[in-house]
Structure 1
Amino acid sequence: MRSSGISRARFLAGTAALGVAGAAGPLLSAAPAGASPRPGLTYRGVLYEVTDGENPATGWNAQRMRTDLRAIRNDLHANSVSVWGDGVERLAATATEAAERGLHVWLQPRLGDVPEADILDHLAETGRHAERLRRQGARVHLSVGCEFVLYVPGIVPGDSALERVEYLLNGTFDPVLVQRRLASFVARAAKAGRSVFRGPLTYGAAHEDVVDWDLFDLVSVNYYAYHGSRAGYVRDLRPYLRWGKPVAVTECGTCTYVGAPEQGGMGWNVVDYEKGEIKGDLVRSERAQAAYLTDVFDVFESLGLYAALVYTFSAPDAPHRPDDPPHDLDMATYSLVKTIRDGDPDDPASPWHWEPKESFHALSRHFGRAGRGGGGSGESGGVRGWGEGVE
């Protein structure tokens, strides 16, 4: 368990429940008509976690971070990275390194299972660093957080994120009350972000969350849906364009087995965590992960969205064990690279390295082609020019 109280994989379970909260009102019901989008994404990239792991081997490491960002820039051909987690020093160090390598940076603090005041203080400190980077010329956006229903105590009952997820999944909650509490905290977070950061501001909402996007410069959605045709994705995403603001898919992805895309945000739920093994007879498939990502990125490009970022770069606490399928926990990860333990595969503190999956190579080709000739380059247009220069 990470220091925030729950791993991101388990957070994804709550996404399915958040659609219930959407019953409080129609999505984007008051949105104005927006301008026609320009073709191609401006920013294409990946999420990079800085939260401490269960032990020093899997936790954030400055040397590894620099190596990873070099691979993200030079090998994945991404022009953007979302730096997320808790710990202002880790967030600041990683964001600074990414900016120095020429990457556009999304900086997103995610401190959970602590009082609201602590979460807002953590956000403000992170925002101050984002502002320093912006003033130094970096291309940086600040996200005030992610899916507050899961991370922030008090919106739904529960002393921990795990308890809040269970509460959401059992369906015994008042969606109107939850929506009112969520809207209140989103507004407080937006105010805290604005007080310290003068660049483009956003919030990482779950798909079908009801958010007042007038509070932000960009509309952002964490999107894990699966459809059998392009039309389904377009139907989901086109309403976000009605706000007349740049739209970013701030998370997307799937796990690494046959049938994972169909499971969406619940794809991780194939592990017996007490036994540390995969449930059932899953068939590992890096190809299924790669095909899903290339399909959805084609849709994002065609809609002219502002940005799309893949969850996630690596998952060091879920190693790949090719000769032991029941314990190949990498199958249940959304990562673009697979963790290979160099020592005892049963020792979580063992040294490790990563190797790219098929999804890494597929996106590398897509990002490389798009950066050379198609869509936006991330160097001009979009939010830059009106958001980052505000004084």
Structure 2
Amino acid sequence: MLGGAEQGTKVVLLTGSMGAAARRQALLDLVTGEAGIVIGTHALIEDKVQFHDLGLVVVDEQHRFGVEQRDALRSKGKQPPHLLVMTATPIPRTVAMTVFGDLETSVLDQLPSGRSPIASHVVPAKDKPHFLARAWERVREEVAAGHQAYVVCPRIGDEEDEPRAAKEKSAEDEAEKRPPLAVVDVTEQLVKGPLRDLRVEVLHGRMQPEAKDEVMRRFAAGEVDVLVATTVIEVGVNVPNATAMVIMDADRFGVSQLHQLRGRVGRGSAAGLCLLVTDMPEGSPARARLGAVAATLDGFELSRIDLEQRREGDVLGQAQSGVRSSLRVLAVIDDEEVIAAAREEAAAIVAADPELAGYPQLRTALDALLDKERAEFLDKG
């Protein structure tokens, strides 16, 4: 599908916000094979998108795609294409599938060139209000040193639902009853209070695309000191001069989100600082989770923490996390050695006898476990 070195390879972009003419041309390039590489958003999953001969699917920020979405991409090939998924924090299901041997992993455990370490700290705002006051002082210190900062909030400020992470933990005994902090409210408080003489701007997903682009342009150009935003900055934002991040109501976010968010700082020569603000009491599961996030920058270690707290989900079904698990006598975290040994034994048996003709009882047990729907879903995963 790729052209020779002398003719090059055509690269095409496909997103949901493209104009009609550009979109038609991109779709034509895909279906005719004129495009050797296509880069796109979830728009690539739409039914009308067809490929001439899809051979490789690379999914970045894997935690933002569900099992069905990844399978929808793979199904667009004449033959099942190769699949490469990339993430800084593997979701619990993926960790479980990795242990079971359905995914091979390559680990990049070094910071990219030019990156600096990120110091993370939990700020118990309710227990120790002066800690939050100090957090705003640190933001001012970074700005005074010529740097910039992010302030992240869970919601925009209207009546939209709480973020996914808040719903996941709504059953926790210590969960707060108040709504999560909002961008518009926090911005008003900051510009009238601790950051009143700084250049503060707002960014969220309900702004018009042109307005969002203009805010990000000004922030990247150094014309904005502090950007108060929702998780729209979680990926795809690269401002090396931004060195500090304050995440409000950090307990409302998942482990993967927190790790992705703090990756927006420390992208230049200056060290990064991430402050996780919470009202949750000491000793609560939420505080323990935040403490674990603050203690490591290792995405795989964070995925283990996430897995311990959320479980692996149903590895044979759609539940990607939670108490519903198809495992009855094993725990992915505690029994890795047993699972690894079983995987080797299973691989040897299947290699020698793919139909399990010599193992009728095993064949019967598998048929009972893997109904058609579960077997198909396992292939999708």
| Higher RCO structure (Cα 8 Å, ≥6 apart) | 1
Q: Shorter chain as normaliser: what TM range?
A: under 0.3
Please give the TM-score of this superposition, normalised by the length of structure 1: 0.26
Please give the TM-score of this superposition, normalised by the length of structure 2: 0.26
Select the structure of larger CA radius of gyration: 2
